[in-house]
Amino acid sequence: MAGAVSIRGLAKEFGTRRVLDGLDLEIAPGEFVALLGRSGCGKSTLLRILAGLDAEVEGAFSVPDKVSMAFQQPRLLPWRRVWRNISLGLHGVDGRAVAEKALAEVRLESHADAWPLTLSGGEAQRVSLARALVREPELLLLDEPFGALDALTRSAMHRLVEQLWREHRPSVLFVTHDVDEALLLADRVVVLEAGRIVAEHRVDLPRPRRRASFVDLRVEVLADLGVDDVEAA
CB of 151 to Mg ion, least distance (A): 21
Nearer to ligand ADP, 3 or 37 (CB): 37
User: Considering the complex, what minimum distance in angstroms separates the CB of residue 14 from ligand ADP?
Assistant: 3
**In this chain, which residue has its C-beta nearest to Mg ion?**
44
Q: How many residues bind Mg ion (CB under 5 A)?
A: 2
Q: Which is nearer to ligand ADP, 16 or 110 (CB)?
A: 16
Q: Which is nearer to ligand ADP, 54 or 94 (CB)?
A: 54
Nearer to Mg ion, 43 or 131 (CB): 43
Closest CB 212 distance from Mg ion, rounded Å? 29
Q: For 3, list phi and psi in degrees, rounded to 5.
A: 90, -15
> Buried b vs exposed e over 107-121: b needs ≥16 C-beta within 10 Å?
ebeebbeeebeebee
Chain residues that interact with ligand ADP, rule: CB under 6 A: 14, 19, 37, 39-45
Least separation in angstroms between residue 49's CB and Mg ion is: 13
Beta-strand pair 32-36/58-62: unpaired
Q: How far is the CB of 196 from ligand ADP (least distance, A)?
A: 13
Q: DSSP class of residue 38? A: -
Side chain identity at residue 87, one-letter code:
S
Output 45 or 128, the one with its CB closest to ligand ADP.
45
What φ, ψ does residue 115 adopt, rounded to 5°?
-90, 140
Q: How far apart are CA 185 and CA 158, in angstroms?
A: 7
Do 21 and 193 touch, CB atoms closer than 8 A?
no
- Please list every residue from 30 through 49 that binds Mg ion, using CB under 5 A: 43-44
Please give the DSSP secondary-structure letter assigned to residue 41. S
